[in-house]
Structure 1
Amino acid sequence: MALLKAAGIGLVLGLLMGVPAHAQISSEGGPIYINSERTESLERERKVLLVGNVDIRQGTARLRADTVTILFTGEPAPGASTQGVAAGFGQVQSIVAEGNVYYVTPELKAKGDRGIYELATDTITMTGNVALMRDRDVAEGQRLKMEIGNRRTTLEGGGGRTRMVIDPETQSQANR
């Protein structure tokens, strides 16, 4: 799924902060634009907080959430810049988006209450009222796990059931 490859939810933020070029929210790359009501840099904790109506854009991809927290390893990434907002923090370890999380690309839309990107496992996990939409197909559940490198997506109902609506016309048009 393009969401998996492009998502890297906070990887885009990493680019802005001196992380290698593979860290991004859009497969297109390019400049990253971040808007929030408040930005806080916590150097001792190697953390950057974006608070209040966070809106991150890169190319045709967009991530929105109430808050985004970027955690760093303290280890410099290979080829990382020594300049930028969080250059001394090292490589991105994880990115946590909370509250009204939306990730949108031209191919798909995903929403949930919380989204976490883990660099070590190259995994995105969205929880709480999750919906994944591609064209007119919709999948809903409580926990969505996307293993990007393995190209594997798992949707769980969280004690309930998952629901899907698949439009066969959309599928046949995509295969033409």
Structure 2
Amino acid sequence: MTTKTFLAAMFCVALGSLALTGSVGAQVAQEGGPVMVGGDSWQADENALTQTWDGRVEVIQANSRLRADHVVISHAPGGEGENKGWGEVVKIEATGNVYYVTPENTVKGNTAVYTKANDTMVISGDVVLKQGKNVMTGTRLVAEVGAGTTTMDAAPGSTNNGRVRAVLYPDEKQANSAAGN
């Protein structure tokens, strides 16, 4: 692989990493900024237009982070100039010990797949969603990012016995004002 091809592929990694949450501008962090990607190994397949990161993969942008054992970023054909052949990111698949962490939330699962065509993130396996003290568990979380909708379900026979479960703590300020404090 030539240096020019390597730099073009690395640029595509940065662009691919931006698609993880699908927010405006399709970024890992809503506030944007540079994207750092690291792992134990990296491989680009110019024929399949994929990049594969293996071993302690971490994608960081601002205060948001995606960690997984294995990440595959798939591109559409196209691109201009140095990126010729590497078009926009169409899918990102993270597997093994997946964690997506923002200042507000932490989501854990076995796999996560972001598909640009329908702007949807699906996290599956033993899914745990945490926000502050609040915790929700299930086996599949589907976030339609642009629509702002999220659903969680649980498979029969799962550790949740086919049920989505949550522990929710009321806002302490609201609870105190409701109690007359």
Q: TM-score, normalised by structure 2?
A: 0.78
Contact 1:18/1:82, CA 8 A, preserved across alignment: no
Paired with 2:62 and 2:36, the residues of 1 have a C-alpha distance of 9
- Structure 1's 17 and 67: CA in aligned 2 closer, same or farther, altered over 3 A? closer
Secondary structure of the residue aligned to 2:117 is: coil
For the pair shown, the structure with the greater C-alpha radius of gyration is 2
Closer/same/farther in 2, CA of residues 122 and 67 from structure 1, 3 Å limit: same
Q: Does 1:145 align with 2:142?
A: yes
Paired-residue identity, %? 35
Cα distance 1:94–1:16, how it changes in 2: closer, same or farther (>3 A)? closer
Contact 2:17–2:27, Cα closer than 8 Å, also in 1: no
Aligned-residue Cα RMSD (Å) equals: 2.4
2:7 matched residue in structure 1: none
Report the CA distance between 1:132 and its aligned residue.
0.6
Does 2:174 correspond to 1:172?
yes
User: Aligned partners of 2:18, 2:144: CA distance in 1, in Å?
Assistant: 25
In structure 2, list runs of 5 or more residues that go unmatched.
1-11, 157-161, 176-181
Distance 2:125 2:171 in 1: 29
* Secondary structure class of the residue paired with 1:88: coil
Report whether the alignment pairs 1:128 with 2:125: yes
Q: Distance in 2 between matches of 1:109 and 1:103?
A: 6
Distance 1:33 1:58, change over 3 A: same
* Aligned counterpart in structure 2 of residue 92 of structure 1, from 60, 82, 89: 89
SS in structure 2 at match of 1:70? strand
Alpha carbons of 1:17 and 1:59: their partners in 2 closer, same or farther (altered >3 Å)? closer
What is the number of residues matched between the two proteins?
155
Q: Take 1:145 and 1:170, find their aligned partners in 2: how far apart are those partners? A: 29
In 1, Cα distance between equivalents of 2:148 and 2:18 = 27
Which residue of 3, 23, 26 maps to 1:23?
Answer: 26
Maintained 8 Å contact 1:13/1:24: no
How far apart are the structure 1 equivalents of 2:70 and 2:172? 34
1:7-33 Cα shifts (integer Å, max 9, x gaps):
xxxxx94427899x9232111111111
Q: 1:171 to 1:33 in 2, by over 3 A?
A: farther
Within the alignment, does 1:42 sit opposite 2:66 as a pair? no
Change (3 A) 1:126 1:89: same
Structure 1 unmatched ranges of 5 or more: 1-11
The separation in 2 between residues aligned to 1:137 and 1:90, in whole angstroms, is 39
CA distance in 2 between counterparts of 1:63 and 1:113 reads: 13
> Alpha-carbon deviation of 1:113?
0.1
Sort the Cα spacing of 1:135 and 1:56 in 2 relative to 1 into closer, same or farther, 3 A. Answer: same
Deviation above 2 Å: which 4+ runs of structure 1? 12-19, 169-173
Cα distance in 2 between the residues matched to 1:116 and 1:171: 37
The yes-or-no answer on 1:108 pairing with 2:105 is: yes
